[in-house]
């Protein structure tokens, strides 16, 4: 300490204007350090740059399959076998898309997927809210038991109950009809229904109970409180649940394949599988069980399947991510 002071002293002695100059240099260096590395809890530029770089890297890994899909679906056969063509096709070929469009009978599939997704989502958004509200605002005997049932429903794998479901639907005559896919949803079950009940329950637990009490004092009954007071302020939760429900119904492959095998009622996802199989038959397959030449068409098909959902996400993206934070999904 002393030595440093002495050294500083002798240094500053040699140059008359040394001290203020040194001070400004040290200060600006310090400021540079703070700017780069940050102070206390604030992130510096270096940290930000590092995190941003890492995010770009991981983001690329994330997007790689999508980029691959978009790039491949635009390729002609020539581009496909040409080793000099990587990523960017020499010409944009939209023929693959039209082949996939016709091959999948896209409009029929779109109607089917949209019907099941929308009906399923609307049903779940409402009935799961009922159950979630009952579980969060009322005390009755067996409430914990009901919640345990919800948790059980959440963890049961669909493949464990698929056989009785299949037989039940056969008995009711619902096999190959959309009833098989939407009736459980109307009771708040079906695809991930239990998860939605849990989300709603958490959301309602986070709302102050003075809201419903006030409405009750004004003479509203339980159901009126629910529909007139609670639902209007539950928009974030409703949005999150219905968007998730639409997406998961759209993407579901297992239940529709097991319960609806009629080709006319195939969802888009099922049609994509059918398209792949048909293409393999036409083009033949190699030792890996697939054909290189049918690839652009299959990629075009995959693109067409996710396109409507992608559009929905682009429109609703902001509310989606914000809504999840606001649902208080985690408390």
Partner 1 sequence: MRRLSARMTLSRRRAYEGVAFVAPWLVGFLAFMAFPLAYSFYMSFTNVKVGPTSIELKWKGVGNYVYAFLSDNVFPVELMSFFQQSLLIVPIIVVFSLIVGLMLNSETWGRPLFRAVFFLPVIFSTSQVVLSLFNRGAGRIAFLDRFSVAEIVNTSLPDRWAGPVLAVLDRITLVLWYSGVQILLVLAALKTINRTVYEAAAIDGAGRWEVFWKITLPALTPFIVLNTVYTIVDLSTYPFNPILESIRRSMFDVRTGMGYAAAQGWTYFSIVLLVLAAVCAFGMRNVWRQE
* Region 175-234 residues binding partner 1, contact defined as CB under 8 A: 184, 186-190, 193, 197, 222, 226
Closest distance to partner 1 from the beta carbon of 5 (Å): 25
Q: Among 88, 161, 211, 233, indicate the residue that binds partner 1 (CB under 8 A).
A: 161
Binds partner 1 (CB under 8 A): choice among 5, 14, 144, 160? 160
Q: Which is nearer to partner 1, 15 or 285 (CB)?
A: 285
- Contact flag: residue 253 with partner 1 (CB under 8 A): yes
* Residue 137 sits in the site that holds partner 1 (CB under 8 A): yes
Tell me how crowded residue 58 is: count the other CB atoms within 10 A of its CB. Answer: 10
Helices and strands (H, E) in the chain, number of each type:
17, 0
Rule CB under 8 A: is residue 83 a binding residue for partner 1? no
Q: How many other β-carbons are positioned within 10 Å of the β-carbon of residue 185?
A: 25
Residue 8 or 148: the one with the smaller Cβ distance to partner 1 is 148
Residue placing its CB nearer to partner 1 in the complex, 15 or 55: 55
300 binds partner 1 (CB under 8 A): no
Do 238 and 231 form a contact (C-beta atoms < 8 A)? yes
Residues numbered 4-43 forming contacts with partner 1, rule: CB under 8 A? 40-43
Exposed, middle or buried, 278 (CB in 10 Å: 0-12/13-18/19+)? middle
The minimum distance between CB 321 and partner 1, in angstroms, equals 5
Determine the Cα–Cα distance for residues 135 and 146; give it in Å rounded to an integer: 8
> Pick from 76, 207, 273, 278: which binds partner 1 (CB under 8 A)?
273
Scanning 9-17, 78-86, 100-108, 306-314 for contacts with partner 1 by CB under 8 A, the matching segment is 306-314
Q: Segment 85-124, which members bind partner 1 (CB under 8 A)? A: none
Which residue, 21 or 311, has its beta carbon nearer to partner 1? 311
CB atoms closer than 10 angstroms to residue 122: 16
| Structure tokens belonging to residue 18 | 């040394």
In the set 25, 26, 46, 51, which binds partner 1 (CB under 8 A)?
Answer: 51
Contacting residue, 13, 18, 65, 284, with partner 1 by CB under 8 A: 65
Q: In terms of CB distance, is 72 or 234 closer to partner 1?
A: 72
Give the C-alpha separation, 171 to 9, whole Å: 97
Core vs surface per residue 21-56: b (16+ CB within 10 A) or e: eeeeeeeeeeeeeeeeeeeeeeebeeeeeeeeeeee
For residue 186, the minimal CB distance to partner 1 (Å) is 8
Residue closer to partner 1, measured from CB, 115 or 290: 290
How many chain residues interact with partner 1 (CB under 8 A)? Answer: 97
Angle between helices 18-37 and 45-73 (to 10 degrees): 40
290 lies in the site for partner 1, by CB under 8 A: yes
Sign of CA dihedral 128, 134, 137, 142: negative
Give just the sign of the alpha carbon dihedral 70, 74, 79, 84.
negative
**Applying CB under 8 A, which of residues 23, 28, 31, 59 lies at the interface with partner 1?**
59
| Longest Cα–Cα distance in the chain | 101
Nearer to partner 1, 26 or 68 (CB): 68
């Amino acid at each position: 300490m002393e030595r440093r002071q002495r050294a500083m002293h002798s240094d500053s002695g040699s140059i008359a204007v040394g001290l203020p100059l040194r001070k400004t240099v040290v200060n600006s260096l310090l400021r540079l350090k703070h700017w780069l590395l940050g102070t206390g809890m604030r992130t510096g530029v270096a940290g930000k740059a590092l995190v941003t770089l890492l995010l770009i890297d991981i983001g690329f890994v994330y997007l790689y399959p999508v980029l691959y899909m978009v790039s491949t679906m635009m390729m002609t056969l020539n581009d496909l076998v040409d080793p000099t063509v990587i990523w960017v096709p020499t010409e944009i070929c939209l023929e693959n898309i039209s082949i996939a469009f016709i091959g999948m009978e896209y409009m029929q599939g779109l109607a089917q997927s949209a019907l099941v997704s929308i009906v399923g989502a609307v049903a779940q958004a409402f009935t799961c809210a009922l159950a979630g509200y009952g579980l969060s605002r009322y005390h009755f005997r067996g409430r914990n038991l009901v919640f345990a049932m919800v948790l059980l429903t959440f963890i049961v794998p669909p493949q464990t109950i698929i056989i009785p479901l299949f037989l039940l639907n056969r008995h009711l005559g619902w096999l190959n009809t959309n009833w098989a896919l939407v009736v459980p949803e109307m009771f708040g079950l079906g695809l991930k229904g239990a998860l939605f009940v849990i989300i709603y329950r958490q959301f309602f637990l986070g709302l102050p109970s003075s809201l419903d009490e006030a409405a009750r004092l004004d003479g509203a009954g339980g159901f009126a409180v629910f529909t007139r007071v609670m639902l209007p302020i539950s928009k974030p939760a409703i949005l999150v649940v219905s968007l998730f429900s639409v997406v998961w119904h759209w993407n579901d492959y297992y239940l529709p394949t097991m319960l609806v095998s009629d080709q006319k009622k195939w969802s888009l996802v099922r049609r994509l599988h059918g398209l792949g199989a048909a293409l393999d038959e036409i083009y033949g397959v190699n030792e890996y069980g697939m054909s290189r030449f049918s690839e652009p068409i299959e990629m075009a098909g995959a693109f067409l399947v996710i396109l409507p959902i992608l559009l929905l996400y682009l429109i609703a993206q902001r509310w989606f991510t914000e809504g999840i934070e606001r649902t208080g999904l985690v408390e």
